[in-house]
Amino acid sequence: MTIALASTFDPRGEIGRLQRLYSQIQAQYSHIIISLPPKATSDEIEQLNNLPGTTVFVNEHWSQGRYMSLKAAYETGADYIHYCDLDRLIRWVETRPEEWLQIVERVQQTECLVIGRTQAAWATHPQVMIQVEKVINSVFSYLLEGEYDIGSGSKGFRRDAVKFILANSRPERAIGTDAEWMVLLYRAGFLLESIEVDGMDWEIPDQYQDRAADRERQAQMAEVYDADVKHWHYRVGATVEVVEAGLDAMQRDLKLDGDDADR
């Protein structure tokens, strides 16, 4: 039984930390996919390509980054795929490696695992993220008949679930995949399970630092983040995208195993 890592990564000074942690990460995954934005520099691409066992590629359109990373991971033939935004994974492995290892094992026992945030993890985030994501999670917890934190940036899938997602999702939905992928699997009858972890605490304060930010830095940056109106504008826009993508997926005609039959 094998598990591949599918990730998207917009490096903001985190490659050095990734290099230090890489042997731990590589030991857990049969393949590691790193999907980069068009603005990735040649130096960043070279550094990531030098990591053994990675498949690194630059997307022509960054809106397709998550879809393309999932597709590349599926094409490795792995039995399970763990999707995780790479900046979050770096922090998780650095700060709570045992918890991360437990989740890697748990992914391989499920059809679809939604990896959410504990109250302690949520408490590290700025209020704008807490408030707008309450809307997303309440909408889709109701529609999916469970309790889900769908926007943490990490999920696990069995291979057949990934096949269904690739056949039915829209590559350009970017952050909308948070809801779209879950809705598609729910409609197809896959079992959605949920778990909360401390390791999904706020990762943005880690940017351009030589180590993961501590709680004091997270709190200071959360206050600054909330004081900037452009962050509220961005997060509200992202909320609209996620909700629209999920509702669209709830109504879309679906294909079985890539066929044209409606479900």
Residue 61 lies in a domain: yes
Residue 259 lies in a domain: no
Model pLDDT, residue 173: 79
- CA gap 48, 39 in Å, rounded: 15
Burial 217-248 (b: 16+ CB within 10 A, else e): ebeebbeebbeeeeebeebeebbebbbebbbe
Residue 102 belongs to domain with CATH number:
3.90.550.10
Contact 21, 88 (CB under 8 A): no
Predicted confidence (pLDDT) at residue 206 exceeds the cutoff of 50: yes
Predicted confidence (pLDDT) at residue 113 exceeds the cutoff of 60: yes
Model pLDDT, residue 255: 85
Domain count, the chain: 1
Mean pLDDT over the full length of the chain = 94
The pTM assigned to this predicted structure is 0.94
- CA gap 201, 120 in Å, rounded: 8
Predicted confidence (pLDDT) at residue 258 exceeds the cutoff of 70: no
Starting at the edge strand found earlier in the chain, the sheet holding 112-117 runs 54-58, 31-36, 3-8, 80-84, 154-158, 112-117, 192-197
Predicted confidence (pLDDT) at residue 11 exceeds the cutoff of 70: yes
Residue 261 lies in a domain: no
Model pLDDT, residue 263: 34
Model pLDDT, residue 175: 86
Residue 257 lies in a domain: no
Residue 152 lies in a domain: yes
- Domain span at residue 166 reads 3-251
Confidence of residue 232 (pLDDT cuts 50, 70, 90): very high
Of 46, 41, 51, which is closest to residue 12 (Cα–Cα)? 41
Residue 89 lies in a domain: yes
Model pLDDT, residue 262: 34
183-203 pLDDT, tens per residue? 999 999 999 999 999 999 999
